[in-house]
Amino acid sequence: MGSTLLEALNVRVEGSGQKVLVLAHGFGTDQSVWQRILSSFTPYYRVILYDLVCAGSVNPDYFDFRRYTTLDAYVDDLLAILDTLGVDRCAYVGHSVSAMIGILASIRRPELFTRLVLVGASPRFLNDEDYHGGFERGEIETVLCAMEANYEAWVRGYAPLVVGADVPDARSEGRAGPGQGTMLHNPDRQGLVGPGLCCHLFEGPFGRAQHHGGAAHRRPPAPSKRTDAFRRQAPASPLALARRLAHCSNRY
């Protein structure tokens, strides 16, 4: 299973450092999101990159809709990758949904992670009575309907929002796979993480994002109210707000 999983999820190990760093991408992208910053880490770390099974770069035959109903299966994949590669300690950078995958993995195997860096994380994607940093179910349904009705038009509108409309190279490089709708509906956990383990990086307000084709959602994927939830759950962890940073600015 281990070697098959490494091949299925396009696992790569780059760099010559002694310490291990995992870079995990978020919604609608794949590991190529890290390509422009990868060279900054490879002299100092062995960098592990992989694609989530729901990424468009992964053969959809590997996606099991029943298994990947919750993020637990994504945690299983991450831990299986680390075990197969013989990793016993690592730092982890998780963007968007992979931030929560990393948190859940660290709760299950705390000895495995020296540091979590959470970029644009959301403790929940759906609002409830006690949490209002996510989306209403109707908003998510609207996005999914737009994706189903005209996927290319949705990508053309969504890409500038998450990459940043100010970026000249912002292109419609949508790589969403079969499980992205399931991921959006997953309300997810609010689990405690050890003090000082996490560093949270949140994007600030978007710039002049334009709306193309009437199919994009104007709200950022990870609204700013989430910061309060993270402060309550991990008050000892440092938190930074990066002004005018789009949700996928790690691509640029």
Least confident interval from 96-100, 191-195, 243-247: 191-195
* Rounded Cα distance, 74 and 11, in Å: 14
Range of 227's domain? 2-251
pLDDT band at 124 (very low <50, low <70, confident <90, very high): confident
Look up the CATH number of the domain holding residue 113: 3.40.50.1820
d(CA 204, CA 223): 9
What one-character-per-residue DSSP string does 163-175 give?
H-TT-TT------
**Confidence check: pLDDT of 116 > 60:** yes
Per-residue pLDDT reduced to its tens digit, 167-200? 555 444 444 455 444 444 444 444 444 444 555 4
Would you place residue 217 in the very low, low, confident or very high pLDDT band (cuts 50, 70, 90)? Answer: very low
Q: How many structural domains are present in the chain?
A: 1
Q: What is the pLDDT of residues 218-231, one digit of tens each?
A: 444 444 566 666 66
In the predicted model, what is the mean pLDDT of residues 84-113?
A: 95
Query: pLDDT: is 200 or 206 the higher one?
Result: 200
Question: What is the pLDDT, as a whole number, of residue 128?
Answer: 80
Number of Cβ within 10 Å of residue 90's Cβ equals: 18
Give me the chain's average pLDDT, please.
75
Task: Please state the pTM of the whole predicted model.
Answer: 0.72
